[in-house]
Amino acid sequence: MQFRKLESIKGQHPKLSRQLDSLAAYITEQLEKGRKEIEPALASRYLNLPEAEVLALLMLLEREGMVRHVYNIYCAHNRTLLKSVREKSDIPSGIYCKYCDKEHCDPDDFEIELTFQVVEPAWEPLHQNVAAR
């Protein structure tokens, strides 16, 4: 059962148990709303925790295969998603934007955002086991 993964993390980091439970409840709530990506800044505001702490918690979940990081590349002018890549080294120096009909090469032309994609099968057992906030 994938629920053991969360319990394993909490066992390794007992002082983070409450924060992990809150984050798990938040992720479960997002899944129920059809949202499959977790943005650390939004989770931080919702949970009233520093963004760096939420990022660290997400990285613990990633280590257990419950989420995976991705870099989303957005057009800075239209705020539309242009591409997602798994590694920083895969971020292109230029990227074509069909919305602007041009190649964005200037770093000011696009934005890169680190998000975490939820590995849905890892969360199925938690839908009923995590209390909503």
Nearest alpha-carbon partner for 64 in 17, 118, 19: 118
**Residue 45 CB neighbours (<10 A):** 12
Residue 131 has pLDDT above 50, yes or no: no
For residue 120, what pLDDT is reported? 87
Q: pLDDT at position 104, please? A: 86
pLDDT tens string 79-120: 899 999 999 899 888 899 898 898 988 888 889 999 999 998
Read off the pLDDT band of 133 (50, 70, 90). Answer: very low
**Mean pLDDT score of the chain, rounded to an integer?**
89
Q: Any bridge partners for residue 71, and if so which?
A: 85, 114
Q: What number is the average pLDDT over the span 32-55?
A: 96
Percent of the chain whose pLDDT exceeds 70: 91
Most confident among 3-17, 34-48, 84-98 (mean pLDDT): 34-48
DSSP bridge pairs for 83: 73
* Mean local confidence (pLDDT), 26-40: 95
pLDDT of residue 106: 85
Q: What are phi and psi of 78, to 5 degrees?
A: -105, -10
**Separation CA 89–CA 130 (nearest Å):** 36
Kindly list the strands in the beta sheet with 81-85, ordered across the sheet, starting from the edge strand earlier in the chain: 37-38, 110-118, 67-75, 81-85
Please state whether beta strands 95-97 and 67-75 pair in parallel, antiparallel, or not at all (unpaired). Answer: unpaired
pTM over 0.95: no
